[in-house]
A = this chain, B = another copy of it.
Amino acid sequence: MKGKPIAAIVSAGLSKFGKLENYTGRELFAEAVYEAFERCPKLDPKKDIKAIFVGMMSESFEHQGHVAPMLSDWAGLLPAPAIRTEIACASSAAALRTGIFSLLSGIYDVVLVGGFEKMTKRSTAETTEILGMAADYPFEQWNGITFPGLFALMATAHMHKYGTTEQQMGLIAVKNHHNGALNPKAHIQKEVTLETVMASRMVAKPLKLYDCSLISDGASCVVLTNPEIARQFCDNPVFIIGSGHGSDTLSLYQRESLTLIKATRNAAKEAYEMADVKPKDIDIAEVHDCFTIAELIAYEDLGFCQPGEGGKFIEKGTSTIEGDLPVNTSGGLKAKGHPVGATGTAQVYEIYLQLTGQAEKRQIDGSKIGLTQNLGGSGASSIVHIFRRE
């Protein structure tokens, strides 16, 4: 299937992201689905959508497991059967990949994929513990390390090996907040200066408050079809031409290297080969900036620059919204927000808007090929997708 579409996106939806006190997760999911249906009037949800695949990281936020049939119900799609996929913060990218499998299998022709997370009802301490369950219990959680600490270890190793600086990481925060200020659905819509980032309080050295993504509520979804029938539903489908998935050890200490994420490299290799494109062909990307160091390493793992050159890549401005390869025009996890189960398909939502010319103030004209990269945990899971407009 090299270079050929493996699925088509005919619509997408995103709830507002933020601290949304009056909404449960299922309501946010319904909000995202409603937008997707509004956007695609030729779609008859009850008749057309044969199944749904949804990502949610943790049952603990709302004391609610078994969410898949519940979401099919709240999306108005029953009796469409539903499966939840979970690989921590990459749960909805896994839903997308699973949805693609189901279309390629020939068993379904139209499916809805998406995800949500309702995080802000819990205290920060509770949320930290819940998120911590995506790290290894006996080898990591038990010893008290949480995700800021794990990514701080990666940042320190990268600084030591390559001379990467805190300022370079800070520039990623500045860029993503700049983009988020252009996104009316972003959790935080305000610019920050490098001075503010550098002066923010230390969370886990060298990562400061502004190096960390947000704890948010939100939901996202995408309607996928078999590529051959996409034009029955819309005039400007976006085609998915590559999908890749990598896994690695759950514990960071077992990895071969702290300065790269092998799961991302394996996922990117699979996706690039399937799509028959090279990193230089990518016009726009949404990558997993749970911490600024994660975006910096993603530049390298995705082949946007050489290993060790991530710091210079952001310094040169290549990934800014005015640059040659804009990354996280949505604001990313950093400013748009990171309701973990929603993040994977929220990245896809942004690429869909960009490739169909609907990204308004942050529109990058002329983009043809887009990429998303969604990470689970400290990098035990990573999924990459590649998209093309006609």
Interface residues of A (CB under 8 A from B): 1, 24, 51, 57-60, 62-66, 68-70, 72-73, 78-88, 94, 97-98, 100-107, 133-138, 141, 243, 245-250, 254, 262-263, 266-267, 376-377, 380-381
Quick check: B101 and A381 within 8 Å, CB to CB?
A: no
- Closest residue on chain B to residue A137 by CB atoms: B64
Q: Taking each of A1, A82, A84, A105, which has the highest tally of chain B beta carbons within 10 Å of its own beta carbon?
A: A105
Quick check: B81 and A84 within 8 Å, CB to CB?
A: no
Q: In the complex, A354 Cα to B245 Cα: how many Å?
A: 35
Q: In the complex, A356 Cα to B384 Cα: how many Å?
A: 40
Q: State the Cβ distance, A119 to closest chain B Cβ, in Å.
A: 14
Q: Across the interface, which residues of B come within 8 angstroms of A98, CB to CB?
A: 83, 85, 98, 101
Taken together, the copies of this chain in the complex come to 2
Given A60-B60, A98-B83, A107-B101, verify A66-B245 contact (CB < 8 Å): no
Q: In the complex, A80 Cα to B381 Cα: how many Å?
A: 11
Quick check: B107 and A69 within 8 Å, CB to CB?
A: no
Quick check: A86 and B101 within 8 Å, CB to CB?
A: no
Q: State the Cβ distance, A231 to closest chain B Cβ, in Å.
A: 22
- Closest residue on chain B to residue A267 by CB atoms: B81
Quick check: A79 and B246 within 8 Å, CB to CB?
A: yes
Quick check: B247 and A81 within 8 Å, CB to CB?
A: yes
Quick check: B80 and A65 within 8 Å, CB to CB?
A: no
Q: Across the interface, which residues of B come within 8 angstroms of A24, CB to CB?
A: 138
- Closest residue on chain B to residue A62 by CB atoms: B137
Q: Across the interface, which residues of B come within 8 angstroms of A81, CB to CB?
A: 245-247, 263, 266-267, 381
Partner pick for A380 among B59, B66, B141, B254, CB 8 A cutoff: B66
5 residue pairs bridging A and B, Cβ less than 8 Å apart? A58-B59, A63-B141, A69-B87, A81-B247, A104-B106
Q: State the Cβ distance, A176 to closest chain B Cβ, in Å.
A: 25
Q: State the Cβ distance, A293 to closest chain B Cβ, in Å.
A: 20
Q: In the complex, A107 Cα to B6 Cα: how many Å?
A: 10
Q: In the complex, A86 Cα to B64 Cα: how many Å?
A: 12
- List the 7 closest A-B pairs by CB distance, nearest first: A104-B105, A69-B380, A69-B247, A101-B101, A81-B245, A66-B134, A65-B133
Q: Across the interface, which residues of B come within 8 angstroms of A377, CB to CB?
A: 66, 69
Q: Across the interface, which residues of B come within 8 angstroms of A73, CB to CB?
A: 247-250, 254
Quick check: A70 and B136 within 8 Å, CB to CB?
A: yes
Q: In the complex, A380 Cα to B69 Cα: how many Å?
A: 6
- Closest residue on chain B to residue A265 by CB atoms: B79
